[in-house]
Structure 1
Amino acid sequence: MKTAYAAASLAAFLLAPALTADAFADPREYAFDKTHTTIRATWDHLGLSFQSLHFTDFDGVLLLDFDSPENSTVDVTFNLEGGYWVGPDQGRFEAHLASDDLFHVAEHPTARFVGTRFETEDGETGLMTGDLTLLGQTHPVTLEVTLNQRGPHPMGGHEVAGFSATGVIQRSQWGMGFAVPAVSDDIRIDIETELSLVTADE
């Protein structure tokens, strides 16, 4: 398997057949359409329910080569100082997320994902492996990626690509062991993203 995806991600994240070989022969820069990008982390809360947070403040460099995915680059940084939405009780939960129990934002205000390997067999589904740096530690993460569609935007005409990605991490790997196992160590990452090709006049 060999592909590329951007992700945050968070990802982000990237696979596809080329529209024309000469148009996409080299890595091209894509940007997140943040209005249509969701990066969600979900966990088991005490066996009672599954709870989630959405990362809302992120950006990255997405250089994608659909003909030769191994030439692609995905590098996304997340702001952890309030860069997420957790629901109606935002204030209380945000304070806990920022504390030493979890993100410890006083010392580690950002997280970063860098894609290191892209694999696909069919150009539509595949794996993206990368390094996630969180709480000052870096560990590998693998995401399953699906290309949903690629081509001219149905409404705007500009070049776009849409992806879904999912994976599971164990938060204790990064030293975030608060309340494990009552609150699950496994964190499911789900990404839905639309990317736009950056043109010379942007």
Structure 2
Amino acid sequence: MMRMFLAAAPAVLLALSSAQAEPVAYEFDLSHTEVSASWVHQGYSRQSLQFTDFDGTLDLDLETPANSTVDITFNLISGIWAGAHHEAFVGHLNSGDFFDTAVSPTAHFVGTSFETEDGETGVMTGDLTMNGQTHPVSLEVTLNNSGETRDGRSKLGFTATGTLLRSQWDMGYAVPYVSDEIDLFISTEMAVPAPAE
């Protein structure tokens, strides 16, 4: 559903000044990236899970954001972590009540538009496909910082938040006892890849 949100990377584009004319590839620093979803369980508590296995394309054009490409695929079979003692719950998430990973083992997010007024905050919209359904998702994006890695490569950091209704993706099991609305949270650092040795 949810490096669904990493698609928010174009928010950084207008905050950086550059004469580059071609999109530049960035990669996630997975040790400093969190992609999570949370919900209310029967009114008693808020629960969450993290998506840990994802990859994709983040080609950012700092001069013309419309030329950027954000395309992220999540491996749902092995890439869901809900904490210790939650093996049965993760198994249920993989069943036909939710992600139905036997049929649809991945989720896929493709950014389609980005709007910003100040170059530091904005709204990224994209198409999220999971469980055989495709619907738009919007994320509020904030640029946290921009700079360089220790070896001089361009580095960016941002946070993105949003919500979706899981029933739109035919995952309405236990609604309304378990909330239909899912809160998305992404916080990430990314950098231009190091040159191949």
Report the TM-score, using the length of structure 2 for normalisation. Answer: 0.93
Name 1:172's counterpart in structure 2: 167
Structure with the higher fraction of residues in helix conformation: 2
How many angstroms apart in 2 are the aligned matches of 1:157 and 1:27? 18
Secondary structure at 1:8's aligned position in 2?
Answer: coil
Instruction: Quote the residue 1:4 is aligned against.
Output: none
Residue 149 of structure 1 pairs with residue 134 of structure 2: no
Greater than 6 Å deviation, 4+ residue runs: none
Greater CA drift, 187-196 or 144-153: 144-153
Q: Is the 8 A contact 1:82 1:94 kept in 2?
A: no
SS of 2:89's partner is helix
Cα distance in 1, alignment partners of residues 119 and 131 from structure 2: 34
CA RMSD, 1 decimal: 1.6
Pair 67,48 (structure 1): closer, same or farther in 2 beyond 3 Å? same
1:91 deviates by: 1.3
TM superposition shift of 1:199: 5.1
The one-letter code of the counterpart of 1:184 is: S
Paired amino acid for 2:179: S
SS in 2 for 1:43: strand
Report the CA distance shift for 1:101/1:198 in structure 2 as closer, same or farther (over 3 A). Answer: same
1:124-143 matched pairs, under 5 angstroms: 124-143=120-139
Rounded to whole Å, the distance in 1 between the matches of 2:171 and 2:161 is 20
Question: 2:7–2:109: 8 Å Cα contact kept in structure 1?
Answer: no
Structure 2 CA distance for aligned equivalents of residues 200 and 88 of structure 1: 38
Name the SS of the counterpart of 1:9 in structure 2.
coil
Matched, 1:186 2:192: no
State, as a whole percentage, how many aligned pairs show the same letter: 54
Q: Which amino acid aligns with 2:94?
A: A
TM-score by length of structure 1 reads 0.90
Deviations 1:86-127 (A, max 9, x none): 011131111111111111111010000000001111110001
Which blocks of at least 5 consecutive residues in structure 2 are unaligned?
none
